[in-house]
Amino acid sequence: NRVQERAPAHLDEESLWKILSEVREFNYQEYRLTAGYQPFELEVMKDAFKQFDKDHSGQISFSELTAVLGSMNKLPKSKDEQNRLMALIRRIDDGSGELDFTEFLRLLRTWDNTAKREEVKRELAVGEECGFRHEQTRRAKEIFSLVDQDNSRMLEPSEVRVLLQRAGVNPKPQEMQEILIWASDFAQHRKKVWTLDMCGFLRLWKKLMENEIVGDL
C-alpha cells in the first residue's frame, strides 16, 4: 500500500526500478523478522520461546534450546543430525551463549531447511530400495501428508487406519490388525507406543503390495 501511494500515474524506467528496489528491501526486512514463517507458525514459536525465557529477558540460553526444540517436536533424530545442529549453533553463537527471538528464528529456519533436504533424500533412497520411482514416492508423500494433520511427520496407529481408508483399502478387522503389526515392524517404538514415519510408510506399502492388499502407487 505504501508503495502504491507513492507510485506516479505513469512510470518511467527509473521510477519503476526505484519501486522494485523498495519492494525488495521491504520483503527482505520482513523475511529477517519472520524467517519466512507464517503468522500461525510464529505464534507457536513465540509461545515455545517464552515458555523457556523464565526471566522475560527476550533471550534463551543454548542449553535451553534443546528443551525448546523438544517442545516443538524438532529435536535431532540421529547422531548425524545432532552434529549438524551443534555446527549450526556454533556458527550462530556470537559469544554470548544466548539467542534472542530473531536469532532463534534464523536458526530454526536453517535447521528446518536442512532437515527437509535430508528427509527428502532419505525418503527417495528408501523409495528406490522398495522399487518405487521418484514420482511414486512423491505421491506417497502426498497421501501421508493428508493424514499427518499435526505436521509431526509421524503417524500413530489410528492415523495409519485413516491413511489406508483414504487410499481405498478397507480390510476386515482381523486383516487390519495384521497390517498394524506389519506397520509396527517398520515403526519407531517409544514407551510401548509406535509411530510410523514416511520411510516406514513406504516399506509398509511395499509389504501390502507383496500381499496383494493394495495396488501400485
> CA nearest 131: which of 211, 213, 212, 205?
205
Is the pLDDT confidence value at 165 over 70?
Answer: yes
Higher pLDDT: 27 or 176? It is 176
- pLDDT bracket for residue 131 (50, 70, 90): very high
Element (H, E) at 61: strand 59-61
Mean per-residue pLDDT for 148-171?
80
**Cell matching residue 87:** 555446527
Q: Could you tell me which residues come within 8 angstroms of residue 61 by beta carbon, excluding any fewer than 6 positions away?
A: 97, 98, 99
The Cα–Cα gap between 131 and 27 comes to 43
Task: Calculate the average pLDDT of the chain.
Answer: 80
Is the pLDDT confidence value at 137 over 90?
Answer: yes
CA max distance for the chain: 73
| Polymer length in residues for the chain | 217
